[in-house]
């Protein structure tokens, strides 16, 4: 059985990986693949590969020879930075690992292990589209905020809604526990399924509480 890794990503803590995992698991089963790991990230796809623990873990699996394929639902799950996405794919290829993009049914390596030049070109285009889509979304959000400001709408948290330190620590007890165990910000965020920014806020609140 071909050993594969499932890779999923969402950008918001309120989102989940269920649909991606279910679809990719069903595909793996239909192809007779053996899923040796499922790497699930909650992180912005615009970050560099070095800032993403999921990508780091994925490349280690490939380098160690634990997998032969990586299954992703769509190219934007690998990231929204074209250069970073292509770097991941190239690093996987160097380890003899093929990347399969399910929604377009494309694979970066042929059955003989050689690079699929057509899929490489297609992947580059898809990555660029994902980046442009992200930029368009940001532009729309900023445009909406500017329009709201022109209309006199007060933006930000409502008065009295900012969480105090006690409330923050009570809400993120699991993060507090991981910090007490000596976990890094990145690892604590991954374990608890929150952003690194949230972990940083919790650490700051903990330091203030000790002062």
* 182 shares a domain with 94: no
* 194 shares a domain with 104: no
Q: What share of the chain is helix, strand, coil (3-state, %, to 5)?
A: 55, 15, 30
* 171 shares a domain with 92: no
Look at phi and psi of residue 146 and say left if phi exceeds 0, alpha if psi is from -120 to 50, else beta. Answer: alpha
Q: What pLDDT shows up at residue 142? A: 66
Question: CA angle, corner 48, sides to 45 and 52, nearest 5?
Answer: 70
**HEC string for 85-148:** HHHHHHHHHHCCCEEEECCCCEECECCCCCECHHHHHHHHHHHHHHHHHHHHHHHHHHHHHHHH
Quick: pLDDT tens for 161-171. 445 778 888 88
Quick: pLDDT tens for 33-89. 999 999 999 888 778 888 899 999 999 999 999 999 999 998 888 887 878 888 899
Is there a domain that residue 139 lies in?
no
CATH number, domain at 23?
3.40.50.1390
Tell me which of 129, 144, 174 is where a domain ends. 129
The rounded distance, in Å, linking the Cα atoms of 84 and 169 is: 35
Residue 202: give the domain boundaries: 165-210
Q: What pLDDT shows up at residue 127? A: 67
Backbone angles phi, psi at 54, to 5 degrees: -60, -40
* 78 shares a domain with 124: yes
Q: How many domains does the chain have?
A: 2
SS3 195: coil
* 124 shares a domain with 172: no
Alpha helices in 151-172 (DSSP H): 165-171
Bigger pLDDT: 63 vs 197? 63
Q: What pLDDT shows up at residue 143? A: 67
* 169 shares a domain with 124: no
* 8 shares a domain with 109: yes
Bigger pLDDT: 150 vs 112? 112
Is there a domain that residue 147 lies in?
no
Is there a domain that residue 156 lies in?
no
pLDDT at 100 over 80: yes
Q: What pLDDT shows up at residue 154? A: 62
Q: What pLDDT shows up at residue 6? A: 96
Q: What pLDDT shows up at residue 162? A: 46
The rounded distance, in Å, linking the Cα atoms of 204 and 200 is: 6
Mean pLDDT of the chain: 83
Is there a domain that residue 145 lies in?
no
**79 exposure class (CB count in 10 Å sphere: 0-12, 13-18, 19+):** buried
Question: 41: which residues sit within 8 A by CB, 6+ positions away?
Answer: 7, 8, 9, 10, 52, 53, 54, 55, 190
Is there a domain that residue 71 lies in?
yes
pLDDT at 141 over 70: no
* 69 shares a domain with 19: yes
Is there a domain that residue 150 lies in?
no
* 186 shares a domain with 116: no
Is there a domain that residue 59 lies in?
yes
Average pLDDT, integer, range 124-137: 64
């Amino acid at each position: 059985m071909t050993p594969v890794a499932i890779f999923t990503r969402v950008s918001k803590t309120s989102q989940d990986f269920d649909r991606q995992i279910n679809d990719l698991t069903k595909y793996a089963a239909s192809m007779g693949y053996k899923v040796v790991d499922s790497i699930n990230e909650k992180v912005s796809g615009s970050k560099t590969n070095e800032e993403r623990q999921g990508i780091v873990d994925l490349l280690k699996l490939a380098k160690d020879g634990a997998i032969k394929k990586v299954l992703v639902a769509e190219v934007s799950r690998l990231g929204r930075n074209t250069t970073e996405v292509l770097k991941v794919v190239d690093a996987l290829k160097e380890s003899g690992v093929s990347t399969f993009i399910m929604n377009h049914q494309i694979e970066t390596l042929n059955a003989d292990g050689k690079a699929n030049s057509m899929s490489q070109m297609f992947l580059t285009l898809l990555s660029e589209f994902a980046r442009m889509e992200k930029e368009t979304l940001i532009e729309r959000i900023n445009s909406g905020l500017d329009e709201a400001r022109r209309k006199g709408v007060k933006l930000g948290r409502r008065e009295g809604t900012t969480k105090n330190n006690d409330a923050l620590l009570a809400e993120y007890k699991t993060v507090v526990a991981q910090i007490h165990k000596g976990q890094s910000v990145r690892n604590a965020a991954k374990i608890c399924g929150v952003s690194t920014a949230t972990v940083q806020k919790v650490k700051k609140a903990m330091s203030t509480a000790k002062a």
